[in-house]
Amino acid sequence: MALQDILRNVGTALDQVENYIDGVDTTFNPKNTLNGIRISLTTVRDHMQRYAQDAINLQGLLYIANGQINNLMNDLTNTRNDVFQRTQLLNLTYNNEANEHHRWYLTWLNSIGYGYLIDIKNGRLGN
């Protein structure tokens, strides 16, 4: 039974007790009705305590989830930075290798007597 129904029944039972006290309806035992009200209120209290505990537990789970999300975001940022740094390092390494290859190639051309080709390529005419 939903809490709203239980509380509605408590209200109805209190009306019956009030009618008994006023002498309008004396066909029932108000002690039984009061015991029913007591049981209903105890049930409502138990439900409310359970709901409060559930809220506390869910808040704890939310806190844990938010912590995990923050950790994952930090890990993602660190990974992105690592990839960026590695990309820069690879570009630098590639450029260094390309420059070294070019320097070696020019040295090789000079060593085999093709220096004039280098001069022509660089816009210098040999005299």
Q: pTM, whole model, 2 decimals?
A: 0.56
- CA pair distance 33, 14, nearest whole angstrom: 8
Q: What is the pLDDT of residues 56-85, one digit of tens each?
A: 999 999 999 999 999 999 999 999 999 999
Rounded to a whole number of angstroms, the distance between the first and last alpha carbons of the chain is 108
Q: What are the tens digits of pLDDT across the range 90-105?
A: 999 999 999 999 999 8
Domain ranges of the chain: 3-121
For 101, counting Cβ atoms within 10 Å of its Cβ (0-12 exposed, 13-18 middle, 19+ buried), the class is exposed
Number of other CB atoms surrounding residue 68 within 10 Å: 10
